Structure 1
Amino acid sequence: MVLFSTSAMAQSLTEFARNARSLGMGGVYIPFVSGADAVFYNPAALSKVEGLDIKLAEIGVSLNSLSKEDIDELQNFDPNDPNTYNSLYGKRVWLQATAKAAVAVGNFAVGYLQDAEVSLELHNPTYPQFETYFRHDTGYYLGFALPIGPGTHLGMAAKKLNRWGGVMQELSLTDVSNASTIDDIGSRFDDKGQGYGIDLALATTIDLPLLKPTVALVWQDVGNTAFTKTEGDDSPPHITQNLSLGAGVTLDLPGIDLSVGGEVRHLLEPDIETGKKFHLGAEVSLPVIDLRAGFSQGYFSYGAGVNLFILHIDAVSYTEELGAYPGQTSDNRYMVSVGVDLSFDADFKFTDNQGKRRKLKQRR
C-alpha cells in the first residue's frame, strides 16, 4: 500500500509494493508491520526496532488467473488473422513485480523500492484495440519514529520517486502487427517524471503480558505526490493521498502467535464505494510455518509462509475488485515472494524474520 494508483484502470484500487503477508491477511498490514519494512508502510512502527534490522532483499511476482485455454489462445494470437483473436475479447492479462531492500537502526531506516505493473486486454470488436497499461516506479525512502507518549510513536518517511508510464494506452492491432520489437511498443510509454512525497503515521501499542493491541493511523502521500516531467510529452499522473486506519491484536504465546486485525483505507476519498475500503485478516504463526486468511473488497484471501532462519517464502491467492463496488468485476490473482532478512536485538543476537521478533530459541 505504499503508493496508490490513479490510473484509468476502471476503479481498481491496486496499491503498489504490497507483500504476500499483507495480501494473505486480506490487505491488513499497518498494525503488524515491524522492522525495516515499516519504512514503506507505517514509519511509526520503526519504534519496534530495538537493534539492527536488514532486509537484504524481498522479491515478489503477482499475476492474474488464466486458464490453460486462455494461455494457448494468447500464444496462437496473430494480429493479421482475425480468427485468432475473436476469443480473446475481455481476457485480461495482468502482471506485477516488486523488489525491496531496507536497513533500520533504532528508530531510523532507509529503503529502496522497485515496482512494475503491466496489463493488457483486447476489447471493442468493431475496431479491436488493446487496452494497455504500464508503470514502473523506483523509490528511495528515509524514515524515522519518535516517542510522543507511553507506547505511542509518531513516524515520518520522506521519499523520492521516479516514475515511468502510469497512463492507459490504446493500441490497435495495426500498432501491434507493425511493431518489430518490444521496444516499439514501449516507445509509446515515454512519459517519465520525478516526485517527492511524505508519509506520516501515528501508532499506539499497549504491551500487556500476552496481548499486544495496536492502533495505527497512516497518511501516505500527504497532499498528493506530483511528478515533474523528466522525459516524454507529459508528466506521469500524481499519486493520490491515502489515509488509512488500522487496528490489530497479537496473542504472543511460546512457539505460536495469533494476530487478528482490520484496516479501513482511502478515508479521504468519498467517491470510493465503502465496501472497497474495508479489510479484515488473521495470521497464525508457528515455529516454521505461517497460515493466513482474510477478507478484502468483498472477497476472501488465503496464504502461507515458510520461515527458514533468514529466508522466508510466501504465497497467496487473493482477488482484486476492478469495478465500482464489490462483486462487480473480480480479478483472481496469485503472488509468490522470496525474502532474506537479518535481524539483531539490542544485544546483537539473532531474532527471527517476518517481523515477529521472537528469539529463535522460542521457535524451536
Structure 2
Amino acid sequence: MIPSRLYRACLSLVLSGSAGHLYADSLEFHRIYRSAYFLGRGDTGVATADYHEAIFYNPAGLAKGKGLYKETVLISPTVQVSTKTKDLVRQVLVQEDNDPDTLRGYLGRNLHLGVSNFTGVVFRRAALGILASSDTNVMLAKSADERGLETLHADAVANRVAVFSAAEDFFNQKLLVGITGKYIMRNEATLDVSALDSDNISDQLSSNDAEISRNGIGVDLGLMYDMDKKPWRFGLHVENLGTTKLAAGESGVSSKRLPQIVTLGAAYDLTTKMSSLVVQADFRDVGGAVEKDTFKRLHLGTELQFARVFGFMGGLNQGYPTVGLFLNLYVARLDIGAYTEEVGSTAGVRPDQRLFFRLKAGF
C-alpha cells in the first residue's frame, strides 16, 4: 500500500473540485498499472508481454515458455514524474511556498506524479499478486467558467488491487489464452481552487471531504498468436471485459464503471539464445472508449537486449519519442528512461514530458 504521507503529498497537489468544472484537456485516463520497462519502448507489449507485466498488459503471455516457475517480485517501486513537478514539489511541500506567484510560473503546464509497487509470484500459466498505485495530475489554467481567473485544478487516484491470472497454450504454443481477475479498491480526490486561495489546499484536503472510495471486481482477457516458423506475433487484450463496476463505499455517492478498452498489438521478434531485437506496434482503445484521437492511441517501439541482462529501448508514445534502458542482475533490476504523455484532447496540444524509474527486487 502507498504510504499515507506520500498519498497526501500527491493530494496536496490535486485540485479539481467537481467533475463538471474540470478542464477536459488537462487530465488523462488513470490506468491501474503502467510498466516502466514497456514505457521505454513506446508503452508497447500486448503481443510479447511476459512475467508480471503480462498480468496487466496481456495475461496470455503467462503461458509462454517452458517449466513451471517464472519469477517472484518482492518489491518493485516505480516513479513517473513530470520534468517540472520536482521544482513545484520542492517549493510547495518542502519550502511551503504557496504564494500565487510561485504557481503562476507553471501556468498551462500539466504536472504529473505517479507511484506504484507490485509484489507477487508468477508461474507459467498462473500468477498472484498485489498492486498499489497512485496517479496525480495538476494544472494551473485560466478558467472559462470563472471569467478568465487562474484556477488550480487536477485529480488524484490511488488503487489497491489484488490480482490472479491464469493462462493456457494450444497448438504447440501457437495460440495462447489468458485471463486476469482483479479486486480493485480505489480512492479518488478532486478539487477546484482559485490560485488566490492556494495557501489553503493542504487544510482542505486533510479533511477527507474531497475523497471518494469505491471498490469492485473486474476481468481482463488476453490472446496471443505466434505465426508458425515466422518472427511475427500478434496480441489482443481486453481490459475491463464488459466494463468494471466500482461501487461507492459511502452512501449518497454513485457507482462508476471503468470502460472496456480493447488493444491490438503486433511484434516482429528476432530472438536468439544471447540477444534479441523486437519491433512492436500497439493500437490501444480500438473502440474509442476513452480516447477519440487516433494518434493518441498509437504506440510504436523497439528493443535490443543482450542475454536479458542489459537492454536499450526506444519508440513513440502517442507520437512523442520515448527512450529507456534496463540492467538486470537477476536479484535486482533497474529500469530508467523518459517518455511524453499527451494530456490534451488531441496529439500535439499539451505534451507532458516525464521521467520514469523502477527498481525491482526478487528472484
Query: TM-score when scaled to structure 1?
Result: 0.82
SS of equivalent to 2:52 = helix
Distance 1:59 1:182, change over 3 A: farther
* Deviation of the 1:91 alpha carbon: 3.6
* Map of 1:37 onto structure 2: 53
Tell whether the 8 Å contact from 1:39 to 1:111 is kept in structure 2 after alignment: no
Equivalent pair of 1:114/1:138 in contact (CA under 8 Å): yes
The corresponding residue for 2:138 is 120
Mapped contact 1:8–1:168 kept (Cα < 8 A): no
Match of 1:354 in 2: none
**1:224-263 mapped onto 2 (5 Å cutoff):** 224-231=243-250, 233-235=252-254, 237-263=256-282
Q: Partner residue of 2:322?
A: 301
Relative to structure 1, the CA distance from residue 170 to residue 179 in structure 2 (aligned partners, 3 Å threshold; closer, same or farther) is closer
Q: Which one-letter code corresponds to 1:315 in the other structure?
A: I
Match of 2:312 in 1: 291
Q: CA RMSD in A?
A: 2.8
CA distance in 2, matches of 1:319, 1:179: 28
Matched to 1:51, the amino acid is: L
Residues 1:94 and 2:115 aligned together: no
Equivalent residue, structure 2, for 1:357: none
The 1:236/1:172 distance shift into structure 2, 3 A limit, reads farther
Which secondary structure does the structure 2 equivalent of 1:21 belong to? helix
Contact 1:44–1:202 (Cα < 8 Å) also in 2: yes
- Higher mean C-alpha displacement, 279-288 vs 141-150: 141-150
Q: CA deviation at 1:131?
A: 0.2
- Residue 132 of structure 1 is matched in structure 2 by 154
Tell me which residue corresponds to 1:222. 241
Query: Which residues of structure 1 form unaligned runs of 5+?
Result: 1-5, 343-364
Q: CA deviation at 1:189?
A: 2.7
User: What corresponds to 2:12 in structure 1?
Assistant: none
Q: Which residue of 1 aligns with 2:348?
A: 327
Taking only the aligned residue pairs, the percentage that are identical comes to 23
- TM-aligned CA distance change 1:105 to 1:132, over 3 Å: same
Change (3 A) 1:173 1:110: same
- Aligned residue for 2:165? 143
Question: For the structure 1 residues 206 and 101, does the alpha-carbon distance in structure 2 shift closer, same or farther, using more than 3 Å as the test?
Answer: farther
What corresponds to 2:181 in structure 1? 158
Is the counterpart of residue 193 in structure 1 residue 214 in structure 2?
Answer: yes
Question: Which blocks of at least 5 consecutive residues in structure 2 are unaligned?
Answer: 1-18
* TM-score, length of structure 2 as denominator length: 0.82
Q: In the aligned structure 2, how far is the partner of 1:82 from the partner of 1:154?
A: 53
- Is the CA contact 1:192–1:232 (under 8 Å) kept in the aligned structure 2? no
Q: Note the C-alpha offset of 1:60.
A: 0.5
* One-letter amino acid of the counterpart of residue 48, structure 2: F
Alpha-carbon distance in 2 for matches of 1:330, 1:198: 31
The offset of 1:27, in angstroms, is 1.0
* Structure 1, 228-237 or 28-37: larger mean CA deviation: 228-237
**Displacement of 1:112:** 1.1
**Equivalenced residues, count:** 332
